[in-house]
């Protein structure tokens, strides 16, 4: 099965989705196409600046958690040495790796999920801001996993092309009800925490 990204006209690629959402994900479509055709990565500023948080936002839950734990621990050890110079350049080096390899890692996840049929789900959003919240965001990840597992009854094999990539990245889709409920509870809890802290100040 060929994984070459095929070019589609703007009308074709936006045929089944709202036009205003197409431009929003244009960057990733072009970055993935370049990876297919040349094998070269495209720099990702969001991955560079936010690292594991960007991964969690893009629903790369496992990678985001692993990178957060491993590099967070290493960075704490480096900082504990008291060397500001060493801590700065270690942090910068890690961020450069995020920025350079982020799209390649994300593309691997997108292709896997397209093969599983995620791009065909009516109730699935490719991003989640709530998942970025430390520890509590795991509840969102779990709810998202349950909702997707219930929708994906069987394995689905589909061609990896621009159309299926756009379908997966389509942010017009909404999250399932269970994910919305968990998101709501999470943000209410965060707001409550802020109120408690504010009243103690």
Residue 58 near residue 108, CB atoms below 8 Å? no
Structural domain includes residue 44: yes
Number of domains within the chain? 1
Domain-located, residue 3? no
- pLDDT computed for residue 51 by the predictor: 92
What whole-number distance in Å separates Cα of residue 72 and Cα of residue 81?
15
Q: Is the pTM of this model over 0.85?
A: no
| Domain housing 49 | 10-200
26 lies in a domain? yes
44's CB contacts (< 8 A; 6+ apart) are: 31, 54, 98, 99, 100, 102, 103
Domain-located, residue 5: no
Structure-model confidence comparison of residues 15 and 98, the more confident one:
98
Q: At 136, list the tokens.
A: 């509590």
38 part of a folded domain? yes
What is the rounded end-to-end Cα distance, in angstroms, of the chain?
Answer: 61
d(CA 107, CA 29): 10
Choose the weakest-confidence range: 8-22, 47-61, 90-104, 139-153. Answer: 8-22
Higher pLDDT, 28 or 13: 28
* Residue 4, in any domain of the structure: no
The predicted pLDDT at position 35 comes to 93
Please list, in sequence order, all residues whose beta carbon lies within 8 angstroms of the beta carbon of residue 27, skipping any fewer than 6 positions away. Answer: none
Is the confidence at residue 154, as pLDDT, over 80? Answer: no
Q: How far is CA 2 from CA 26, 40, 63, 153, in A?
A: 22, 18, 26, 25
* Model pLDDT, residue 41: 92
CA dist 102 and 42 (Å) reads 9
Distance CA 136, CA 190 (A): 10
C-beta atoms surrounding 2 within 10 Å: 9
Sequence-distant (≥ 6) Cβ neighbours of residue 118 within 8 angstroms: 124, 148, 152, 168
CA distance 163 to 119: 10
């Amino acid at each position: 099965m060929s994984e070459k990204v095929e070019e589609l006209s703007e009308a074709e690629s936006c045929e089944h989705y709202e036009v205003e959402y197409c431009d929003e994900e244009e960057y990733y479509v072009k970055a993935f196409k370049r990876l297919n055709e040349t094998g070269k990565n495209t720099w990702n500023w969001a991955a560079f600046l936010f690292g594991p948080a960007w991964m969690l936002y893009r629903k790369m839950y496992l990678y985001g958690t692993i990178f957060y734990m491993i590099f967070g621990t290493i960075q704490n050890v480096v900082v504990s040495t008291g060397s500001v110079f060493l801590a700065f350049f270690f942090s910068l080096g890690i961020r450069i790796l995020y920025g350079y390899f982020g799209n390649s890692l994300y593309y691997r996840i997108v292709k896997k999920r397209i093969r599983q049929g995620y791009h065909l789900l009516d109730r699935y959003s490719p991003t989640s801001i709530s998942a970025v919240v430390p520890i509590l965001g795991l509840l969102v990840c779990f709810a998202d996993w349950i909702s997707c597992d219930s929708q994906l009854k069987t394995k689905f094999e589909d061609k990896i092309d621009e159309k299926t990539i756009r379908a997966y990245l389509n942010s017009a889709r909404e999250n399932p009800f269970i994910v919305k409920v968990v998101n709501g509870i999470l943000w209410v809890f965060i707001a409550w925490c802020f109120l408690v802290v504010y009243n103690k100040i």
